[in-house]
Amino acid sequence: MTTIQTAIETKLTERFRPERLIVINESHLHAGHHHQHSGHHEAFDGAGETHFRVRIVSPAFAGMSRIERHRAVNEALAAELKTDVHALAVEPAAPGEATRW
């Protein structure tokens, strides 16, 4: 069975051919937060794969605005964002740009 994290890594690698890619499962950091599920608000227990941070450096981002980069990543992960992923933090950069990581 493929994990959601593996699927994200695979899709981003195929789409952007990154020089660096880190996908971090941050679901445990959101325990106790409330999510809407099937029309009901439920407290999230922090388990599973629902919250991720993506740090990616790719030549594909050269010349793109920050918003365009985020849209491109969201488009690549559209299926995951529609179903399993509740939150996605994206830190995109082109080669040579400063990163916080």
- All structural domains of the chain, each given as residue ranges with its CATH number in brackets, are 4-93 (3.30.300.90)
- Summarised one tens digit per residue, pLDDT across range 41-88 is 444 444 578 899 999 999 999 999 999 999 999 999 999 999 889 899
Percent pLDDT > 70 in the chain is 81
pLDDT of residue 94: 98
Q: In this structure, which amino acid lies at residue 28?
A: H
**Per DSSP, what are the bridge partners of residue 13?**
none
10 Rama class: left (phi>0) / alpha (psi -120 to 50) / beta = alpha
**Per DSSP, what are the bridge partners of residue 75?**
none
DSSP letter (8 states) at residue 77: T
Whether pTM exceeds 0.85: no
Residues across the chain: 101
